[in-house]
Amino acid sequence: MKSYKTKRAVGNILGYILLILISIIWLFPFVGLVLQSFRSYATEYGGMVDYLVPKAFSLDNYKFLFDTSQTNYLLWYKNTIVIALFVSLFQTLMQLCVSYALSRMRFTGRTFLMRFWLILGMFPGFLTMICLYFLLKQFGLTQAGAIPGLILVSVASSGMGYYVCKGYFDTIPKALDEAAMIDGATRARIFFTMVIPMSKPIIIYTALVAFMAPWCDYVFASYVAFGHDTSYNVAVGMTRWVWTNDYQGYFTRFCAGGVLVAIPVTLLFMFLQKYYVEGVTGGAVKG
């Protein structure tokens, strides 16, 4: 009995050591990011250095970000928030509509539509980049109009990502719908007053995922806003700092900007984590 206990204690200690190691590895880049962002620009410049803890702490880099005469960072930040909010709202609406129709109603062409979208999804997204660019250009939604253009493109095709949401709807018993229909409720009424209120977790999940995606959108955003500094989002603007301006000392500024981007998004995510876990787990099991 005693040996079993000691064995278990050793196992636990090993487990803790492993977990602490993992935590250090996982946190290291973030700690580094925060520390570098406070490095004094005046005395140590903003380039890359081979030490982690700055010799002098200062807010130089943050001051730079808020100085509108030197950088458009605040504008990029605003652009990203605008894109994220609109995309989140409309994408959720689209996916709810598609999911309800595909989960609850049976009509000719339903399976065809689902298969067709599945096949469409196998084409790489970037393939159509040039075509989308010129399509948007026809409507004046590039460069200066890149923000609405990006929202339009993200929202327009979002109906194809209905899987997780439909999977959730499938678990709501159909008997509820039938009962409501016997009472004379229309499909639309069932959708708005019954299914939507019952789907709070999946709505939050969909909105959260849709909200977070634009913060990382570099590829298409940089293509559509090409050369038009005021239409950048944070990902485009700051990625350019890292790739082209490193020698001018933009590295610590990138760190500071990254911290400012990461804080609200991370807080939001942590706050809604429960719903996220529910969504990804459900989505993974149903495939």
Partner 1 sequence: MAQGAANKKKNAVSTFFEALGKGFKEIGVTFTEGDFKTKLSFIILGLGPILRGQILIGVTLLLCEVLFIYFMTGFGWQYLSKLSTLGTVATKKVGRKTVYGDNSFLILLFGVLCIFAILAFIAIWYINVKENRKEELRLREGKKLPTNGEVFHSLFDKNFHKTLLAIPVTGIFVFTVLPIVFMILVAFTNYDKNHQSPTNLFTWVGLENFKNLVSFTGAGIGPTFLQVLAWTLVWALFATFTNYFLGMAVAMLINKKGIKFKKLWRTILVLTIAVPQFVSLLYVMKMFANDGLINGYLIKWGIIDSYIPFWTDPMLARITIIVVNIWIGIPYMMLIATGLLMNIPEDLYESARIDGANPWQMFRSITLPYMLFVTGPFLLTQFTGNLNNFNVIYLLTQGKPQSVNLAEKAGNTDLLITWLYKMTVNDTNYRMAAVIGIMVFIVTAVISLVVYNMLPSVKDEEGFQ
Q: Which of residues 87-126 bind partner 1 (CB under 8 A)?
A: 94, 97-98, 100-101, 105, 107, 113, 117, 119-120, 122-126
Best CA proximity match to 217, nearest among 71, 79, 73, 34: 79
Q: How many helical (H) and strand (E) elements, i.e. helices and strands, does the chain have?
A: 16, 0
For position 250 contacting partner 1 by CB under 8 A, the verdict is no
Closer residue to partner 1, CB minimum distance, 69 or 123: 123
Min CB(210)–partner 1 separation in Å:
14
Report residue 273 as tokens: 């984590």
What's the first-to-final CA gap in the chain, in angstroms? 45
Q: Distance (Å, rounded) from C-alpha 205 to C-alpha 284?
A: 14
Site for partner 1 in 212-231 (CB under 8 A): 212, 215-216, 218-219, 223
- Site map for partner 1, 176-215, x if CB under 8 A? ----------xxxx-x--------------------x--x
Q: Pick the binder of partner 1 from 40, 143, 230, 239 (CB under 8 A).
A: 239
Best CA proximity match to 254, nearest among 46, 24, 108: 46
Min CB(113)–partner 1 separation in Å:
8
Which helix (DSSP H) or strand (DSSP E) does residue 49 occupy? Answer: none
Spell out the residues 6+ positions from residue 39 whose beta carbon is closer than 8 angstroms to its own.
46, 49, 54, 55, 56, 57, 58, 61, 252
Q: Pick the binder of partner 1 from 134, 176, 193, 196 (CB under 8 A).
A: 134
For position 1 contacting partner 1 by CB under 8 A, the verdict is no
Closer residue to partner 1, CB minimum distance, 13 or 144: 13
Q: Distance (Å, rounded) from C-alpha 143 to C-alpha 139?
A: 12
Total residues contacting partner 1 by CB under 8 A comes to: 88
Closer residue to partner 1, CB minimum distance, 57 or 126: 126
Site for partner 1 in 14-53 (CB under 8 A): 15-16, 18-19, 22-23, 25-27, 29-30, 32-33, 48-52
Closer residue to partner 1, CB minimum distance, 5 or 69: 5
Report residue 172 as tokens: 């709501």
For position 81 contacting partner 1 by CB under 8 A, the verdict is no
Spell out the residues 6+ positions from residue 240 whose beta carbon is closer than 8 angstroms to its own.
232
Min CB(44)–partner 1 separation in Å:
14
The neighbouring-strand residues paired with 39 are 57
For position 285 contacting partner 1 by CB under 8 A, the verdict is yes
Min CB(98)–partner 1 separation in Å:
5
Closer residue to partner 1, CB minimum distance, 75 or 159: 159
Q: Pick the binder of partner 1 from 127, 175, 182, 227 (CB under 8 A).
A: 127
Write the DSSP assignment of 217-285 as a string of letters. --HHHHHHTTT-GGG--HHHHHHHHHHH-GGGT-HHHHHHHHHHHHHHHHHHHHHTHHHHHHHHHHHHH
Q: Binding segment for partner 1 among 8-16, 53-61, 62-70, 198-206 (CB under 8 A)?
A: 8-16
